[in-house]
Amino acid sequence: MSLEKVLAISGKPGLFKLITQTRGGFIAESLIDKKRLSVNIHQNVSVLSEIAIYTLTEEVPLRKVLSKIKEKEDSKETAISHKDGKDALEEYFFEILPDYDEDRVYASDIKKVIQWYNLLQKHDMLDFDADATTSEEEE
């Protein structure tokens, strides 16, 4: 599944899969407990394909960051938990993305990326290399 169909909804834990659009928003299904909920257009929703991480030179798409974690962890769960301390999280993220902008990427952002990676890995949704080639071909 592509990251265009994976959502983070403000105020709701975990990630959601876009099911269908409705007149006033859309229906999403939680990856954690498979419960469906109606999301209206006024809620703050982020599509994972639109998220990027700041580095000192550019913004790296989340897809590339998740791919680097997948490569480092050999497609398994991360060796670090999103509940670990700030220093451990930053040290781990520095191994993934050595030039990330420490002034604009907070420990809370790193926690989310690690939590999202582990959730996507658990649901076998990390195969977006095929998505990358199709989106590059479209451009």
Query: 8-27 pLDDT, tens per residue?
Result: 999 999 999 999 999 889 99
Instruction: Tell me the C-alpha to C-alpha distance, in Å, between residue 55 and each of 1, 60, 73, 105.
Output: 27, 7, 21, 9
- Counting residues of the chain whose pLDDT is more than 90, the rounded percentage is 73
Q: pLDDT tens across 100-118, in order?
A: 999 999 999 999 999 999 9
Q: Based on the domain organization, do 29 and 42 belong to the same domain?
A: yes
In the numeric block, which tokens belong to residue 137?
């071909």
Q: Which domain holds residue 27?
A: 3-48
Q: pLDDT tens across 29-65, in order?
A: 999 999 999 999 889 999 999 999 999 999 999 999 9
pTM comes to 0.85
Q: Based on the domain organization, do 33 and 77 belong to the same domain?
A: no
Q: Based on the domain organization, do 81 and 133 belong to the same domain?
A: yes
Which CATH number do you get for residue 33? 2.30.30.730
Q: Angle at the Cα of 52 (from 6 to 92), degrees rounded to 5? A: 95
Q: Based on the domain organization, do 27 and 57 belong to the same domain?
A: no
Higher pLDDT, 66 or 137: 66
- Counting residues of the chain whose pLDDT is more than 70, the rounded percentage is 91
| pLDDT for residue 136 | 45
Q: Based on the domain organization, do 10 and 42 belong to the same domain?
A: yes
| pLDDT for residue 127 | 81
| 14 Cβ neighbours under 8 A, 6+ residues apart | 30, 31, 32, 115, 119
Q: What amino acid is encoded at 72 in this protein?
A: K
CB of 138 closer than 8 Å to CB of 98: no
Q: Based on the domain organization, do 134 and 95 belong to the same domain?
A: yes
Which CATH number do you get for residue 73? 1.10.10.1650
Out of 28-37, 44-53, 89-98, 127-136, least confident range: 127-136
Average pLDDT for the chain:
88
Q: Based on the domain organization, do 58 and 98 belong to the same domain?
A: yes
Cα separation of 135 and 42, whole Å?
A: 28
Q: Based on the domain organization, do 33 and 73 belong to the same domain?
A: no
Give 70-94 as a DSSP string: HHHTTTS--SS-TTS-HHHHHHHHH
| pLDDT for residue 130 | 52
Q: Based on the domain organization, do 66 and 109 belong to the same domain?
A: yes
Q: Based on the domain organization, do 43 and 58 belong to the same domain?
A: no
